[in-house]
Amino acid sequence: MKVGIMGAMHQEIEHIKKRMQVDAEKCIANRVYNTGKIDNTEVVLVFSNWGKVASASTATTLIQHFKCDFVIFTGVAGALAPDLNIGDIVVGSAAVQHDMDASPMFPRCEIPLTGITFFKVEEKHASSAVEAAKSFLAGVDEKIGQKTLSQFFISKPIVRLGLIATGDQFIQDKKAHIGLNFIEEKQPQAVEMEGAAVAQVCHDNNVPFVIFRTISDKADHSAHIDFEAFINQIAGQYAGGIVEEFMRASFG
Ligand code: ADE
């Protein structure tokens, strides 16, 4: 078993790297891949870069070059479900490309010539991912500290299993850019810029995957937090802790 771990933020990579024994570093197509182990499992850790093409290219290298047979993606996301708050974790049950639209030849969001709209996460992996995220959050007060959490209005964060919407846009007005019809019909929980692209590559290569997303904003103008500070003080720690829990439960 070799696990590819992709993070969408450098700070996430740093926190995951701390938990890893790094044996080598290799640069391929503008990405730096750290190879080594977490506990006794071989892993390859890489910063995915942002957007669908960048992350798809990174996932392809993990699978084709490094022969990873499982992919973990961690990153931040905007909440689409109104009851999700900053600091909550969304675990993907499936991922959809909200900006794919080859209508009228194919229905909106269907990947042309595949018949696929939703890239599903295998149920057993999605439930292990939910458990890992829950056990991380169970100790989040001690790990991050209440003072820091309260700076970002995080209290009693939750884990939600649900659909993740991916597209090549940072969404600041979900009504205008994603559309209320899409949100009401498909009930995506979070929006980000990589998950469904990585999922498509994993699907084509028959490699299982999981997606973890920490809510950093509400994909509108409502939440005014310092994004950079959130990434530095919250998202990195979340990614490190969640990956640690998931690796231990699934491969340890
Ligand atoms: N990643 C974090 N927040 C996001 C947003 N609002 N849109 C797209 N990607 C995101």
Dist CA 207 CA 44 (whole Å): 15
CA of 227 to the centre of ligand 1 (A): 11
165 pocket-lining for ligand 1 (C-beta < 6 Å) = no
Distances (CA, A) of 155 to 14, 29, 67, 170, 214: 25, 41, 40, 25, 14
Ligand 1 pocket: which of 84, 99, 217, 226 to mutate (most atoms within 8 A of CB): 217
Q: Is the beta carbon of 76 within 6 A of some atom in ligand 1?
A: yes
Q: Mean pLDDT per segment of 10 residues, for the chain of length 252 residues? A: 97 98 98 97 98 98 98 97 97 97 95 98 98 97 96 96 97 87 91 98 98 96 85 97 97 88
Would you state the pLDDT for residue 223? 67
Task: Output the CA 35–ligand 1 centroid distance in Å.
Answer: 28
Establish whether residue 216 lines the binding site of ligand 1, counting it when its CB lies within 6 angstroms of any ligand atom.
yes
- Residue whose CA is closest, atom 2 of ligand 1? 77
User: Cβ(219) to ligand 1 under 6 A?
Assistant: yes
Q: What pLDDT, on the 0 to 100 scale, is given for residue 180?
A: 80
Is the CA virtual torsion 153, 154, 155, 160 positive or negative? positive
Determine what percent of the chain falls in helix, strand and coil, rounding each to the nearest 5: 40, 30, 35
Ligand 1 atom nearest to 169, measured from its CA: 8
Give yes or no for residue 46 CB within 6 A of ligand 1: no
Q: Which amino acid does the sequence have at 112?
A: P
User: Ligand 1: does its nearest atom lie under 6 Å from the Cβ of 191?
Assistant: yes
Q: How many other CB atoms are found less than 10 A from the CB of residue 106?
A: 16
The residues with which 36 forms a beta bridge, in sequence order, are 22, 43
Q: What are the beta bridge partners of residue 33?
A: 26, 46
CA distances from 183 to 2, 58, 175 (A): 36, 29, 9
- Would strands 21-28 and 89-97 be described as parallel, antiparallel, or unpaired? unpaired
Tokens of 247: 């690796």
Structural domains in the chain, CATH included, are 2-251 (3.40.50.1580)
Q: Can you tell me the distance from the alpha carbon of 241 to that of 143, in angstroms, rounded to the nearest whole number? A: 9
Compute the chain's Rg from CA coordinates: 17
Token reading at 88: 């909550």
Tokens representing 158 are: 């939750």
pLDDT at res. 176:
86
Residue nearest to atom 1 of ligand 1 (CA): 77
How far, in Å, CA of 241 to CA of 252, rounded?
15
- State the DSSP H helix or E strand holding residue 47, giving kind and residue range, or none if neither: strand 41-47
Distance 22 CA to ligand 1 centre (A): 30
Active site residues: 12, 217
Residue 238 backbone dihedrals phi, psi, to 5 degrees: -60, -50
Residue located via tokens 């530095």 = 232
CA distance 209 to 203: 9
Ligand 1: does its nearest atom lie under 6 Å from the Cβ of 78? yes
| Prediction pTM value | 0.97
The pLDDT, as a whole number, for residue 135 is 97
Cα gap 119→92, rounded to integer Å? 10
